[in-house]
């Protein structure tokens, strides 16, 4: 459920009319609902009620500081994957002890940055990384709290590009070698082992793969404890999917996911961390766009929008489906038409939907891409020298621009011309 509903014939974000946002900010633009963000965070928080836990929002999904602050004020931690995300989380007021640092390629600088600023733990993905963290921590006179991310070799049954828990993926250490890696960690002077980490993929629409992974983590916890390691914390990653299509697709709810966690690892007495991104932000955001032209092609009609693949890459990159709805509520029985929905970028991959049946639209009409809050704005680029898409946050009947659209001058002034090309 979300807070984007038709009211008086117009799609609203909470109590704000989207045509008004389009008039003020222009299109394309992302619009987020505070109530939806808060609701989704609370669903996870409540699903783990009774177990010591921390919900660490995977900020890669949507990382505007206003979104981070909204969640941090409810008690969220953050899952960060780069020095940039770490700096953003800190700038949004998240304390170091609520930040977990993930990623297969942490650099010396990023490790030092997080140790100096405070970090709840590093989720370590390899032996060389473990050695480097130990070295950097020693250099600073500190000990680094770590979990080791294990790769359980479980099929997440999701899109290949976002599946991470199979042995062929670059993530984590093979679970079969985990005991050796923990033994190595225990020998390193700058390392303090605090737990185990696992994350098998994103947009999971069934619980079974989670169950497979968490069961393996529970077994490993007991083995590692028997080996003398302190395993107090289990970071179970993110990955719970959302319904993208207005169909019968019904991914499991956070409540069911929480019950699974309780059943598989609840008896171990560990503190539980989870890292949901998409389920918190996905349905909390839409991409607002305007029809530029309706073009008659050979045997097809193109709806050419002012949003393009550079603003929302998911359809081009993962063949993802996003519902695209008119902002003006169609009258009952309104004409329908079949469109290929495309953007203005100069490649055929700039296609949002093929042969999509929807209410008939005309040039100038506004549309909203639903479920675009996660992996939308954060994956946007300036391809074709199109300005980075702006972001707006709504709360009740208030709204605020939380990231401005850059001007052409701002964009092009970042280039510098070397001396040998200057003509002055």
Say whether residue 209 binds ligand LLP (CB under 6 A).
no
Give the nearer residue to ligand LLP in terms of CB position, either 254 or 387: 254
Is 117 annotated among the ligand-binding residues? no
One DSSP character per residue, 75-94 reads T-EEEE-SHHHHHHHHHTT-
Give the nearer residue to ligand LLP in terms of CB position, either 12 or 60: 60
Nearest-approach distance from CB 67 to ligand LLP, in angstroms: 13
Say whether residue 278 binds ligand LLP (CB under 6 A).
yes
Is 277 annotated among the ligand-binding residues? yes
Region from 180-188, 276-284, 338-346, 357-365 binding ligand LLP, contact rule CB under 6 A:
276-284
Region from 175-183, 197-205, 207-215, 362-370 binding ligand LLP, contact rule CB under 6 A:
197-205
* 256: its two tokens: 């069911």
Q: Which residue has the tokens 């799609």?
A: 11
Selecting among 1, 226, 346, 362, the annotated active-site residue is 346
Residue 230 contacts residue 189 (beta carbons within 8 Å): no
Site for ligand LLP in 353-412 (CB under 6 A): 374-375
For residue 88, give Cα distances in angstroms to 19, 78, 378: 31, 10, 13
Nearest-approach distance from CB 138 to ligand LLP, in angstroms: 26
| Interface pattern 153-192 for ligand LLP (x via CB under 6 A) | ---------x------------------------------
For residue 170, give Cα distances in angstroms to 82, 204, 308, 355: 17, 19, 30, 36
Give the nearer residue to ligand LLP in terms of CB position, either 139 or 174: 174
The answer to whether 346 is a known catalytic residue is yes
CB neighbours (10 Å) of residue 286? 29
Give the nearer residue to ligand LLP in terms of CB position, either 57 or 339: 57
Is 336 annotated among the ligand-binding residues? no
Is the previous residue joined to 37 through a cis bond, with omega within 30 degrees of 0?
Answer: no
Cα–Cα distance for residue pair 118/145, rounded to 1 Å = 10
DSSP 388: P
Cα–Cα distance for residue pair 70/137, rounded to 1 Å = 32
Q: Is 408 left (phi over 0), alpha (psi -120 to 50) or beta?
A: alpha
Is the previous residue joined to 28 through a cis bond, with omega within 30 degrees of 0?
Answer: yes
Catalytic residues: 346
Residues near ligand LLP (CB under 6 A): 58, 61, 79, 102, 162, 199, 202-203, 237-240, 275-279, 314, 318, 374-375
Residues annotated within a binding site for pyridoxal 5'-phosphate: 239, 275-278, 375
């Amino acid at each position: 459920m979300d807070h984007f509903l038709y009211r008086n014939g117009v799609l609203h974000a909470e109590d704000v009319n989207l045509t008004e946002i389009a008039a003020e900010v222009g299109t394309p633009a992302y619009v987020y609902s505070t109530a939806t963000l808060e609701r989704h965070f609370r669903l996870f928080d409540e699903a783990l009620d009774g177990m010591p836990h921390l919900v660490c929002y995977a900020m890669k999904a949507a990382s505007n500081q206003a979104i981070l602050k909204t969640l941090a004020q409810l008690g969220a931690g953050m899952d960060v994957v780069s020095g940039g995300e770490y700096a953003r989380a800190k700038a949004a007021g998240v304390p170091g002890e609520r930040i977990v640092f993930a990623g297969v390629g942490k650099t010396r600088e990023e490790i030092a940055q997080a140790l100096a600023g405070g970090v709840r733990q590093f989720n370590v993905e390899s032996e060389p990384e473990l050695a480097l963290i130990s070295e950097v921590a020693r250099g600073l006179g500190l000990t680094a709290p770590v979990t080791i991310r294990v790769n359980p070799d479980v099929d997440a049954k999701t899109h290949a590009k976002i599946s991470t828990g199979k042995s062929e993926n670059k993530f984590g250490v093979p679970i079969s070698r985990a005991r050796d890696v923990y033994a190595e960690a225990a020998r390193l002077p700058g390392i303090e082992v605090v737990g185990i980490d696992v994350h098998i993929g994103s947009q999971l629409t069934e619980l079974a793969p989670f169950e497979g992974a968490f069961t393996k983590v529970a077994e490993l916890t007991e083995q590692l404890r028997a080996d003398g390691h302190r395993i107090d914390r289990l970071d179970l990653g993110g990955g719970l999917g959302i319904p993208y299509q207005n169909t019968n697709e019904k991914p499991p709810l956070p409540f069911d996911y929480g019950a699974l966690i309780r059943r598989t690892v609840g008896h171990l007495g560990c503190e539980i961390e989870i890292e949901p991104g998409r389920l918190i932000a996905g349905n909390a955001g839409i991409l607002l766009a305007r029809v530029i032209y309706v073009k008659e092609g050979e045997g097809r009609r193109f709806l050419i929008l002012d949003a393009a693949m550079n603003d929302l890459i998911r359809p081009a990159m993962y063949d993802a489906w996003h519902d695209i709805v008119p902002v003006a509520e169609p009258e009952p029985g309104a004409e329908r038409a079949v469109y290929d929905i495309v953007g203005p970028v100069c490649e055929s991959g700039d296609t949002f939907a093929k042969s999509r049946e929807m209410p008939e639209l005309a040039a100038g009409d506004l549309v909203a891409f639903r479920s675009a809050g996660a992996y939308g704005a954060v994956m946007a680029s300036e391809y074709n020298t199109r300005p980075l898409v702006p972001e707006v946050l709504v709360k009740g009947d208030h709204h605020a621009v939380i990231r401005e659209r850059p001007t052409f001058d701002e964009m092009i002034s970042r280039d510098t011309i070397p001396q040998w090309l200057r003509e002055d």
